[in-house]
Amino acid sequence: MQTLLWVYILIAGVPWAGLCAGILITRSRQRRMFRDPPPLPSPPPHVTIVTPAKDEADHIEACVLGLLKQDYASFDVRVIDDRSTDGTGDILDGLLREHRSGAEAPGLSAPGLSVRHITELPREWLGKCHALHEGTRDIASPWLLFVDSDVSIEPAALSRTLATAISRGYDAVSLLPRLEGRSFWERLMIPLCGVAWGIMFLMQWTNNDRRRKYAVANGQFFLVRREAYEKVDGHRGVRNQIVEDVELMRALKSAGFKCRLLLAPHLVATRMHATLAELKSGWGRIYSGTARYRRGPMVGAIAFTIVGGLSVYPALAWGGFTAIAHHNPRWLAAAGVHWVLMTVFLAYFYRAARVSIGYAVLPMVSFPVLIALLWQGVKRCRDRTFAWRGTAVEIPRSS
């Protein structure tokens, strides 16, 4: 029994202690956006913000107005309507007319705004990759900022991110947003899914310049030097990648460019995957694509979620029994420490996502759902079929 206790401590408790220690080690690097930024150069370099939009009628106006309200002195906004059928294109054309006529509308006065409409998708391209590629054609700006159309950003987001990038010599900076979750499943699962993704793919090593093979990114806010972007062939180089943001960051880092993934919940916000069906589709795509269709990371995460996570509850029950029946508190103490470490770790990330830390005490609900979502990633590695934005996608085996 003593041997079994030590096995339990080593495979269930010790990993959580390591994860908690990892937070302390990597926290300062990922929280750089919370510090006051250095001043921008004078004059500041021009930035072109590129936003793809496919069937985003509910969000696109707020997104564009938010982009145009940036407090940066030299930028323009280019929005790509990617084969939308829900009125997105009409909304964008209306915004463009207001902008050109000089109508009194919040945020539509200073920066340039342009809209491009795409009606066809070329073979061997995925939709978002093609839209972003079209959006970057004929751009002379030294910096590009890619922002998804379901994202809202604060007025200081561009200036603070660019000031940090320039002062520290970064070639690419991707920001992790706060979650604007409205449903129970959003608030419970998205922070947990994001944590699992970060651990599986060694997110912290994105900020380690010596680890060139390891990088991930969040395409919802992705700032990059145009010269670096063109050096790796931009979105043409990742044209058939289901997680084009991750693959673009990997290409940049492999080429020797300085890349960073930083927390910025005070600057960027998003809402994603509101229902269980959307979670299933979205995270199956993200997990399998980031893994490059290798099942190992998801299988390992499933094993850890069961052995290192859900095992705490039978261990607590057994510990209570042995403490009462045999006056032996060792199992209860080990399980208690295991539960505390796991809960503290989860609470940190729920707090970072700006949702209630109370969700950290619900692994009996969240962990089985996480296992199901990871299994969706395993299945997508096998068949490489996805449904995204109303479009069926099948990734060729050669990709």
In order along its 399 residues, the chain shows pLDDT tens digits of 689 999 999 999 899 999 998 887 776 667 778 888 889 999 999 999 999 999 999 889 999 999 999 999 999 999 999 999 999 999 999 999 988 876 444 544 458 899 999 999 998 899 999 999 999 998 999 999 999 998 999 999 999 999 999 999 999 999 999 888 788 999 999 999 999 999 999 998 999 999 999 999 999 999 999 999 999 999 999 999 999 999 999 999 999 999 999 999 899 998 777 788 888 888 999 999 999 999 999 999 999 999 999 999 999 999 999 989 888 899 999 999 999 999 999 999 998 888 899 999 999 999 999 999 999 999 999 888 776 655 667 676 655
The Cα-based distances of 269 to 66, 152, 318 in angstroms read: 11, 5, 43
Q: Hey, what amino acid is at 118? A: I
List the domains of the chain with CATH numbers.
2-25+294-394 (no CATH), 35-177+218-274 (3.90.550.10)
One DSSP character per residue, 86-141 reads: SSHHHHHHHHHHHHHHT---TT-SSSEEEEEEE----TT--HHHHHHHHHTTT---
> Residue 272 burial (CB < 10 Å; 0-12/13-18/19+)?
buried
Which DSSP symbol is given to 353? T
Phi, psi (rounded to 5 degrees) for 223: -100, 135
pLDDT tens-place string over residues 254-271? 999 999 999 998 999 987
DSSP string, 285-299: HHHHHHTTT-SHHHH
Q: What is the torsional sign of CA 383, 384, 389, 391?
A: negative
pLDDT of residue 103: 47
Spatial separation of the C-alpha atoms in residues 384 and 397, rounded to whole Å: 8
> What number of other Cβ atoms are within 10 A of residue 108's Cβ?
20
Q: What is the CA radius of gyration of the chain?
A: 23
Structure tokens at 391: 């479009």
Round to whole Å and give the CA distance between 237 and 251: 9
Question: How many Å apart are CA 359 and CA 109, to the nearest integer?
Answer: 43
Q: What is the pTM of this model?
A: 0.91
Q: Where are the beta strands (DSSP E) in the chain?
A: 47-53, 75-82, 112-118, 143-147, 151-153, 172-176, 178-179, 221-225, 259-263, 268-270, 385-388, 391-394
Query: Could you tell me if residue 354 is left (phi over 0), alpha (psi between -120 and 50 degrees) or otherwise beta?
Result: left
| pLDDT value for 108 | 41
pLDDT, residue 388, reads: 61
Token code pair at residue 155: 């007025």
Tell me if residue 207 falls in helix, strand or coil.
Answer: helix
